[in-house]
Structure 1
Amino acid sequence: MNMSPETSGKARETLRALLASDPSGILENIAIEHGISLQTVFECLPDETRSFAPGSEAESVLLDIAAWGPVTVLVHTPDVILECKGPLPAGRFAHGYYNIGGGSPVSGHLRLDRCAAIAFVRRPFMGADSCSVNFFNAAGEAMFKVFVGRDDKRALLADQIERFTALRERLSTEVVA
């Protein structure tokens, strides 16, 4: 994946060093603090924690996730962090949107045509392992995220980790260590 050109090489090196020493921070806050897009922050995560796929794969990614079972869908804006837990229904295109719904608490209307990149990230967050699939628009800003589900002891669901890993390996445009 080509790095977005919004920061100098020196600034990227600094950000890479920061994230290598502690990849567990709130990435949206780091983007704001550094005045860069969220995607650029993801690009600066340690190589072994992230990989990217083209946004054109958004529908196939969502259809795959629809078979995983309960996940957490998250939308993070400057004003709200909204989470919804449940199975992600398979969607279909109509009226310019990818529409999801039908018996799950997760429902909505997505502009998948605006998805420019997808990041697969496995990293520590708030003291726990996390796996997420992150959808970015052309400006490098987050559209939404889908997190691997957890059991009643807050451990990641093993079968979903396997599905996450298989999907990442199938679609990633870069090698994951």
Structure 2
Amino acid sequence: MTAEMVTEETRQPLAARLAQNADGILEQIAREYGVSTFEVVKNLPSEHCAIVAGEKFADVLGDVTSWGPILFIVHTPDIVLECEGALPPGSYARGYYNIHGDSPIGGHIRADNCRSIAFVSRPFMGRQSCSIQFFNEAGEAMFKIFVRRDEARELISEQVEKFVALRERF
């Protein structure tokens, strides 16, 4: 079922489930309800999610370059790839947004495919999490940027402040 085919019959139980418990792996919840990951995110209670247009792609990533080391995740049906490091500045060339620098995070992103950006703050595995998730037209996550945790597994407060400030800016 694509995001365009989501009906009230699907949306109501999904929204109710998320209102009762926003925890869980978003992609797994999407499979359970037969919807896209973005449809799950859109149905999170408003206190857990703010969505902005994909046109803000470079602005959002540009801000994150000042956060220090973040957790960069690509989640596909076959792998959850996690990379920790500072996000290098990027620039557009040859149809890609290119990120290169002195970091393990680097590569080429089809930024034009980004339709929506979600600022998600919700419980995950019983602990608060904060992430910025970039979604393509199919409603699947292109990649996610998470606020890191310290040695005690608590969110790094300076990054939470930057996350909140960026979310509020948009």
* Paired residues of 2:89 and 2:101 also in contact (CA < 8 A): no
What displacement does 1:103 show?
0.8
Q: Which residue number corresponds to residue 76 of structure 2?
A: 77
Instruction: Normalising by structure 1, report the TM-score.
Output: 0.92
What displacement does 1:5 show?
3.8
Amino acid at match of 2:115: A
Q: What is the aligned-residue identity percentage? A: 52
Matched position secondary structure for 1:92:
strand
* Paired residues of 2:49 and 2:121 also in contact (CA < 8 A): yes
Amino acid at match of 1:135: F
Q: Which residue number corresponds to residue 174 of structure 1?
A: none
Q: Which residue number corresponds to residue 63 of structure 1?
A: 62
The separation in 2 between residues aligned to 1:77 and 1:57, in whole angstroms, is 23
Q: Which residue number corresponds to residue 89 of structure 2?
A: 90
Amino acid at match of 1:71: I
What displacement does 1:34 show?
1.5
Q: Does 1:123 align with 2:122?
A: yes
In the TM superposition, what whole-angstrom CA distance separates every residue of 1:10-54 from its partner, at most 9, and x where no partner exists? 321110111111111111011112111110000111111001000
What displacement does 1:6 show?
2.4
Residues matched between the structures, number? 168
RMSD: 1.0
After superposition, residues 6-21 of structure 1 pair within 5 angstroms as 6-21=5-20
The separation in 2 between residues aligned to 1:125 and 1:34, in whole angstroms, is 19
Q: Quick one: higher RCO (CA 8 Å, sep 6+), 1 or 2?
A: 1
The separation in 1 between residues aligned to 2:106 and 2:89, in whole angstroms, is 10
After superposition, residues 79-158 of structure 1 pair within 5 angstroms as 79-158=78-157
What displacement does 1:8 show?
1.3
In the TM superposition, what whole-angstrom CA distance separates every residue of 1:70-95 from its partner, at most 9, and x where no partner exists? 10000000000000001111111112
The separation in 2 between residues aligned to 1:47 and 1:6, in whole angstroms, is 22
Gaps of 5+ in 1: 172-177
Matched position secondary structure for 2:89:
coil
